[in-house]
Amino acid sequence: MKLALVHTPSVWVTSIPLGLAYLKAYLAREQPEVRVRILDLNNRFFRDARGRLGGLCARCPRQADVTCVPPELFFRGEALAQAEQAFYDSATFHDKERYAEAFALHNEHYSWAMRCLDTVLKPFVARPDARLDPAVRALLRPDLDAIAAEAPDLVGFSAMTMQISYSLALAKLVKEELGVPVVLGGHFVSVYDPAEVMRANPFLDYIIYKEGERGLAGLVKNLDTRTFADVPNLVYRAEGQVVVNKEGWVNKLDELPFPDLSDYDLSSYFSPTPVVPMLHSRGCHWGRCAFCEEKSASAKYRARTPKNVVDEMEARQRDHGVKHFLFCDQTITATSLERLADEILARGLEVRYGFSGFYASRQVTRELLEKAHASGCRWLYIGVESLTQRLIALMDKGTESGHLLDVIRWCRELGILPFASYFFGFPTQTAEEVKEEARLAKEHAAYFTLPGDGGEFYLTRDSDIYRHPEKYSVDELETHVSFATATGTITSISPRYRAPGLSGAQAKKLFLETVGDDYPYEAGAFWSHFVLLGDNNVDLVFPRAYYRSQLARPLRRLAEGASPAPDPHERGPHVAKVSYHLGLALAAEGLHADALPPLRRAAELAPDSPAALRALATSELAAGEPDAALRAAERALACSEPDLGLEILVASCHERRGDRKAALEIYRQLARRFPSKIALFRQVGRLSRLVGDEPSVPSAEPAEPGY
């Protein structure tokens, strides 16, 4: 039997698929008669991305749409080639300014490109579209040919959320053209409802949720007889019904074989030297953080022995000449880190490593970190989340804000790069707490910096907040559909909710205003690169002014440098698209006044484009021009399909003009049409109080079709 295991775009270019390597090694031991081949199509894609994406653009019917990214904007070979070369060249790589600019350009380029891909791949998966199908099939043809060349009897896909559209589209083609069974696994089907995923995608034959070793081995063993009742973690169809088997897992991780990396070219992962992923444990030792859904995606906490882990490190050095490692654990504890460091030091092994999850409990001491550094630790992703002790306690983190600051300071002093995860807008967070966090951040700015601007809190299904919202003053939970096809829907794992306190956007804005422009900024990097940067003690901390002038504007620089540049008197779709995307880039930086000229040009050249008019109205409103914004928003509404968001934008324009009664009437009409939209009723109540009307709740009426 032949099995092809497929890793699709789009995850980071440095990502070596560890999970598939575990599956290949496990099957080689349990069923050696099965020939397994891993196809890292993500790596192949990025090595030829400009050609692949350019080919898609040439065929894509969306090229006439102003929102479509102009090929010359994103596929300029010289700038991207220079950025990518910076990741391979050791001298450039360790120049912090050149690395940061290369990462910003590369990340912005492919983030937009992948969002563009999503707009064609999702419809292809959901429903046949004669306009899109030829372009998508041409895009996926090299991948399909690579799979077909293996002549597989079974094709498996492993997908995280950012890979799911590509994986499903390719799986659909595999089923159509090759006619072989298809199985989907990975993080996506472990946090979303796997039965919903199966029903929405009839071309999927099987799903394996959560851990895959035992489930895949059982599927392969029983594929001919279809006796699947005892196969753990398997989802399949029987007698017209979707069957979800019980969960199972590997109890003793030391019993797993080392991952099989033989199908990977380790030199091709956009690094000056390979950084190999490893796992020290599965699951989370703490498992109590209120906001985390990962406990639903993995089984109980289990850890490998230090001996087993270091045995693998030695094997990688011997077989691949590798000495840099990234541990992809959810978390490692102080005790586990110390035992690992002791084992490495006892063997005299010369390695460098980092952890993508570090639990900075009170057990973490400077002496422990000194030992970790001596053993080769160079990067730690530390779960800080907040510097407000009340919120830390509400999250049930089990940490202490002052000690977290000590841990980060010790790391920097010892030569371990710390990466502090942080978010704003946790339920009940107050403005006073945000200002106090900003004061602490500035006081400790010599060593405490946030990655980027920090994140914004979002609620996830299966978290403790979702299961017990009353504990966190959360109410009015509202689920919604994330993805819909002709045969089913997939429910989002991020329900909408209501809670007292600042929103994530409000808290983040207040924090940044309070710390000011002199607060340092920590630029982004690929996680595996942090291990290499830490090995040379290269941090990515910059003055905020440098970030704003050099790192935050790669899209703007691309748009301004697009060739041919828009002539002030030139007209046509090319100019409309470049102007639109330049305006969006400026608006994304908060430069709404600067965004208005290109957005007005785009709206002039594409007068029937709801997207161009919406973008213009949004920036005009933000720039303090509500009359102009109202005109643009009403034009957008007139030439679009029914759009709730646009109607809300029109209401906002009326309110900013001082016409609260007009805004109230719009919200009342919307609340009648959408009785399940709680936020609309809140707006009705708020505006009713402001204008002195009775805050009556409108009666519910059926929603109009098309919304």
Residue 569 has pLDDT above 60, yes or no: no
Which helix (DSSP H) or strand (DSSP E) does residue 654 occupy? helix 644-656
pLDDT at res. 630 = 97
Residue 361 has pLDDT above 70, yes or no: yes
Residue 656 in tokens: 């900013």
Bridge partners for 539 per DSSP: none
Q: Is 227 exposed, middle or buried (0-12, 13-18, 19+ CB in 10 A)?
A: exposed
Residue 72 has pLDDT above 70, yes or no: no
The pairing of strands 352-358 and 324-327 is parallel
CA 551 distance to own-chain centroid: 20
The pairing of strands 521-522 and 541-542 is antiparallel
Query: pLDDT-based confidence at 74, cuts 50/70/90?
Result: low
Q: Considering Cα of 318, then 319, then 320, then 326, what sign does the dihedral take?
A: negative
Residue 657 in tokens: 């003009």
Residue 249 has pLDDT above 50, yes or no: yes
The pairing of strands 302-303 and 377-385 is unpaired
Residue 600 in tokens: 């007005």
| 3 state SS of 477 | strand
pLDDT at res. 383 = 92
Instruction: Compute how many other C-beta atoms are within 10 angstroms of the C-beta atom of residue 495.
Output: 19
pLDDT at res. 547 = 63
**Which residue type, as a one-letter code, is found at position 10?**
S
Do 187 and 161 meet the contact criterion of CB atoms below 8 Å apart? yes
| CA 546/CA 552 separation, integer angstroms | 9
pLDDT at res. 289 = 94
Query: pLDDT-based confidence at 542, cuts 50/70/90?
Result: confident
| CA 192/CA 204 separation, integer angstroms | 15
| CA 220/CA 230 separation, integer angstroms | 13
Edge-first strand order for the sheet with 324-327 is 275-278, 324-327, 352-358, 377-385, 417-424, 455-456
| CA 174/CA 315 separation, integer angstroms | 36
Do 197 and 165 meet the contact criterion of CB atoms below 8 Å apart? no
The C-alpha angle 521, 526, 528, rounded to 5 degrees, equals 125
Average pLDDT over residues 175-179: 97
Q: Provide the b/e sequence for 6-40 (b: ≥16 CB within 10 Å).
A: bbbbbbbbbbbbbbbbbbbbbbeebeeebebbbbb
Greater pLDDT, 668 or 118: 668
CA 673 distance to own-chain centroid: 33
Average pLDDT over residues 298-311: 91
Residue 198 in tokens: 């199966």
Q: Is the bond preceding 528 in cis, omega lying within 30 degrees of 0?
A: no
Give phi and psi for 183, each to the nearest 5: -125, 140
Residue 599 has pLDDT above 80, yes or no: yes
Q: How many CA atoms lie within 13 A of 430 on its CB side?
A: 6
Residue 195 has pLDDT above 60, yes or no: yes
Query: pLDDT-based confidence at 77, cuts 50/70/90?
Result: low
What are the tens digits of pLDDT across the range 131-158?
Answer: 778 889 988 999 999 999 999 999 999 9
Average pLDDT over residues 153-168: 97
Average pLDDT over residues 192-219: 97
Closest listed residue to residue 164, CA positions, set 129, 133, 188: 188
**Which residue type, as a one-letter code, is found at position 618?**
T
| CA 642/CA 629 separation, integer angstroms | 19
Give phi and psi for 367, each to the nearest 5: -65, -40
Residue 83 has pLDDT above 70, yes or no: yes
Average pLDDT over residues 571-588: 78
| CA 116/CA 123 separation, integer angstroms | 12
Residue 593 in tokens: 């006044």
**Which residue type, as a one-letter code, is found at position 80?**
L
Q: Residue 657 contacts by C-beta under 8 Å, 6 or more apart in sequence?
A: 626, 627, 630
CA 173 distance to own-chain centroid: 25
Do 42 and 6 meet the contact criterion of CB atoms below 8 Å apart? no
Query: pLDDT-based confidence at 356, cuts 50/70/90?
Result: very high
pLDDT at res. 93 = 94
Share of the chain above pLDDT 90, in %: 67
DSSP string, 582-608: HHHHHHHTT-HHHHHHHHHHHHHHSTT
Residue 577 has pLDDT above 90, yes or no: no
Bridge partners for 475 per DSSP: 498
| CA 555/CA 586 separation, integer angstroms | 9
The C-alpha angle 276, 281, 284, rounded to 5 degrees, equals 125
Domains annotated for the chain, with CATH where assigned, are 2-244 (3.40.50), 273-460+502-519 (3.80.30.20), 567-587+598-640 (1.25.40), 645-707 (1.25.40)
Query: In 177-333, where does DSSP find H-type helix?
Result: 188-191, 194-200, 213-221, 294-297, 306-320
pLDDT at res. 565 = 45
Cα end-to-end span (Å), the chain: 48
| CA 700/CA 292 separation, integer angstroms | 35
Residue in this structure with the two tokens 């003055």, named with its chain if needed: 543
Which helix (DSSP H) or strand (DSSP E) does residue 681 occupy? helix 678-691
Query: pLDDT-based confidence at 575, cuts 50/70/90?
Result: confident
What are the tens digits of pLDDT across the range 495-529?
Answer: 888 899 999 989 998 998 899 888 888 888 999 99
Query: pLDDT-based confidence at 562, cuts 50/70/90?
Result: very low
Mean pLDDT check: name the lowest of 179-193, 223-237, 564-578: 564-578
The pairing of strands 324-327 and 275-278 is parallel
The C-alpha angle 539, 349, 17, rounded to 5 degrees, equals 65
Mean pLDDT check: name the lowest of 56-70, 79-93, 347-361, 420-434: 56-70
| CA 325/CA 532 separation, integer angstroms | 9
pLDDT at res. 704 = 34
The pairing of strands 154-158 and 2-7 is parallel
Residue 561 has pLDDT above 70, yes or no: no
Residue 705 has pLDDT above 60, yes or no: no
| CA 226/CA 238 separation, integer angstroms | 10
DSSP string, 25-85: HHHHHH-TTSEEEEEEHHHHHHHTHHHHHHHHHHH-GGGGSTTSPPHHHH--HHHHHHHHH
Compute the mean pLDDT over every residue in the chain, rounded to the nearest whole number: 89
| CA 615/CA 627 separation, integer angstroms | 15
Residue 384 in tokens: 């800080």
